[in-house]
Structure 1
Amino acid sequence: MQFRKAVMGDTEAIYELIQMNADLGLVLPRPRISLYENLQSLTVIEDEDRIVGVGGLHILWQDLAEIRSLAVAPDKKGMGLGKELVSILVKESAQLGIPRVLSLTYQVDFFRKCGFEIVQKETLPHKVWKDCINCSKFPTCDETAMLYYVS
């Protein structure tokens, strides 16, 4: 298993992996254009030339980044790969000097095990006005906001 930054040749596999997880109701879908525009923020897990996991760290503000589109292939779940990927993205946030990492998620128990705490969405105006305002689920978002405080 290799954790590495995504490259353009990964985008179709990333798209399919995110879509597969979105179809299961685990994450929100992402259009290909979003993957192209945010490729440099994505980290993938590669196993024998196959992308089996993905997650992105998106900077929202000077003190806030967000983990987005965290997805693991169904046959690789339960191996700790998602948790390791979250750890890598949190470390990336720390290296950038960003003290808080957000996840808007349906996977509350998973992120709680990763050290995230539930917060009210209203405490995150930079996220709401930057991204949420354009989401098809706004203003009736059913995701839970969770924060990790980088030490």
Structure 2
Amino acid sequence: MDFYIRKAKMQDVKNIHALLMDCASAGQLLPRSLNSLYSHLRDFYVLVDKESKEIHGCCALTIYWENLAEIRSLAVSPELKKHGLGRKLVEACLSEAVTLGVYKVFTLTYVSGFFARLGFEEVEKEVLPQKIWADCLNCPKFPDCDETAMLIKM
């Protein structure tokens, strides 16, 4: 397995969308529209096979405020899970957060154990007012969100 991580490009959007929709249909994350992906393309990193150039994973870092960002849309192809590639995608996003001067990063997740191993700690959703008003109000699961809020301070 030989992969690299890079910032997403315009031609990656449909592949990112397909990967996210597969994960959403499996109940692993919430779906994202193509429009949303095009609008937030600069937030995304992709995991690329060096030989085939196929995209096998993605993760986004979305900035909410001067001191708060979110890790979202983390997905890795099922056959590549448990190889540390999701960790590498999250680490790329965390590195970018530090580069930008953002030292608090949260996630809403169904896999809290994964993020706990990376240093994230469970928090109440109420400590994330920017997220609630920016995205959650438009979510079909609001106000009965079943994801776990987690936060890391760097």
The answer to whether TM tops 0.5 is yes
1:130-149 to 2 correspondences below 5 Å? 130-149=134-153
Match among 82, 95, 107 for residue 78 of structure 1? 82
- In the alignment, the residues of structure 1 paired with residue 128 and residue 43 of structure 2 have an alpha-carbon distance, to the nearest angstrom, of 21
> 1:4 aligned to 2:2?
no
Q: Secondary structure at the match of 2:88?
A: helix
How much has 1:133 moved relative to structure 2?
1.1
Matched residue, 2:106: 102
Percent of pairs with identical residues:
48
Q: Secondary structure at the match of 1:27?
A: coil
Q: Secondary structure at the match of 2:19?
A: helix
Match among 93, 97, 103 for residue 97 of structure 2? 93
What per-residue deviation string (whole Å, max 9, x for no partner) do you get for residues 79-120 of structure 1? 100011111111110000001011000011111111100000
Match among 49, 54, 75 for residue 50 of structure 1? 54
Q: Which amino acid aligns with 1:10?
A: D
- In the alignment, the residues of structure 2 paired with residue 110 and residue 17 of structure 1 have an alpha-carbon distance, to the nearest angstrom, of 19
Q: Gaps spanning 5+ residues in structure 1: where?
A: none
Q: Which amino acid aligns with 1:42?
A: F
The two structures have a TM-score, normalised by structure 2, of: 0.95
Number of matched residues?
150
Match among 17, 36, 55 for residue 19 of structure 2? 17
Q: Which amino acid aligns with 1:100?
A: K
- In the alignment, the residues of structure 1 paired with residue 56 and residue 153 of structure 2 have an alpha-carbon distance, to the nearest angstrom, of 27
- In the alignment, the residues of structure 2 paired with residue 115 and residue 24 of structure 1 have an alpha-carbon distance, to the nearest angstrom, of 26
How much has 1:136 moved relative to structure 2?
1.0
Q: Which amino acid aligns with 1:39?
A: L
The two structures have a TM-score, normalised by structure 1, of: 0.97
Give the superposed CA RMSD.
Answer: 0.7
User: After TM superposition, where is structure 1 displaced by more than 3 Å over at least 4 residues in a row?
Assistant: none
Match among 109, 122, 127 for residue 123 of structure 1? 127
Q: Gaps spanning 5+ residues in structure 2: where?
A: none
Q: Which amino acid aligns with 1:81?
A: L
How much has 1:131 moved relative to structure 2?
1.0
